[in-house]
Amino acid sequence: MRLLTFSAVRSALIATGMFGLGMLGFVAQASSDLELSAGPMYEAWSKEDSVLACCLKVQAPADAATRRRPIQVVLALDVSRQTAGTPLKAIKEAAMLVANGLHDGDRLAVVAFSDFGRTVFSMQQLNASSRKVAAKAITTLREEAGRNVGAGLDKAQAELMRHKNTNLAGRYLLLLTIGDATKGSQSPHKLLSRASTLHDKHDIAISTLGFSTYDVLGTKVNLNEDLLRDMALNHDGRYYFVEELENASSFMGLELELISEASARQVRIEINTQSDATITNVAGARQSGKVLLVGDMRPGQCRRVVFDLANRPERERDVILNAVYIEPGGFTERRLRSYVRIPLTSGSRRLDREFGPFLAVFDLQEDLAHTAEHIKDNRREYLTMYRSRVTRLEQENNNLGSAYIADQLKYYQTFERRLDDTAVWAEILIMHTKFRLLRLLYGIEKL
């Protein structure tokens, strides 16, 4: 098996222009500070509209820390029988990327789960010697029997509890699986509850990678994307749908860069209004009261948070944004203040040139994701709706002339061909459509 290193994936991403650029083409300034801005979908706020769609853009500093406190990571790896062959190879390559890419002094544990969970590399500090032991533990993994995700979570928790060092930049659980639990607790609610215990009681961020694959008989393996997404987004992590197995290490490379080389940690943004204006329907960050929890950000990453603003404010700068984050090394807290640019005039629904293009694309993708189950129920009807919505976006861009929308339309034209190809499984298309919402918000849509 060819094992990929973090530097190899990093070099590949640099070569394709995807490393450190937020993957949306937004190149961060060589700045040591976070950049924060927010504004509306439209240039005017029509009196007929009770709410105004807005977008918050958070740009991480371009430079990673020259030094940082150690982090603690547990890899929970699916080694069920259905991983046999290419899926297990992809899982092991992604795991090796983490083992090779973490810093000396970081702590790593590796657990595997099939019918039961077991520790294959106990929590310990990484150095040249222990990395070799970790590598052997990962590369010698073999497919076993069923899939007990709950047992994997329990073993991960046990390893994280082995060392409760508080002098850490972060604690992370990375769960890699190809499908739903077939052994032990199979209830999504109970599995999500176990994840919540890890996060809420032990301050552990959980990220998940769900692999799309088929078993040896060519049957699609069921994967509860909604569960994996909620398990990550509700617990300060990220969810990745690995549609093509060869992309597994690329996604893991992004996650590794984020947890290990983050240029802004624990980013949170408090929204204060000096009027009756309220924030609703938040997407792209976990909301806790007035605070939007964005989490860790990799160098140069551009994150978007979409929300609706209700109750028109009286002044353009009535909605204040106060950002707080930990600087790259995990030592110092920094603060930043900005505001939501609010149009107080009524008029035509012309897209705002700065934030309108992204919000128009997001609005389209949100509609497609919310109705994606129709791909399975009535594919032709969904395709008709799809073409209508894409045409509407194209017409909207005729006057605006947005290069961003024009670039996105190329994607939609390509994906339409996949929708029209009945050889492509409906379940794959559904998961792809839902995950693309997150890719837009994460800034990784071009991978």
pLDDT of residue 99: 97
- State yes or no: pLDDT of 348 exceeds 80: no
Question: Of 117-126, 278-287, 330-339, where does mean pLDDT reach its minimum?
Answer: 330-339
| 3-state SS class at 113 | strand
Cα-based angle 377, 379, 381 (whole degrees, multiple of 5): 100
pLDDT tens-digit profile of 303-316?
999 999 998 888 88
Domains in the chain with CATH codes: 20-65+263-339 (2.60.40.1170), 71-261 (3.40.50.410), 356-442 (no CATH)
- 200 Cβ neighbours under 8 A, 6+ residues apart: none
**Percentage of the chain exceeding pLDDT 70:** 90
Find, among 345, 208, 370, 347, the residue nearest to 281 by Cα. 370
pTM here is 0.88
Number of Cβ atoms within 10 Å of the Cβ of 273:
16
pLDDT of residue 21: 31
Find, among 298, 281, 279, the residue nearest to 290 by Cα. 279
Buried b (16+ CB within 10 A) or exposed e, 201-220: eeebbbbbbbbbbebeeeee
CB of 38 closer than 8 Å to CB of 13 = no
**pLDDT band for position 360 (50/70/90)?**
very high
Pairing of strands 264-273, 319-326: antiparallel
> Mean of the pLDDT values across residues 419-438?
92
CB of 136 closer than 8 Å to CB of 177 = no
Average pLDDT over the chain, rounded to an integer: 88
**pLDDT band for position 216 (50/70/90)?**
low
- State yes or no: pLDDT of 15 exceeds 60: no
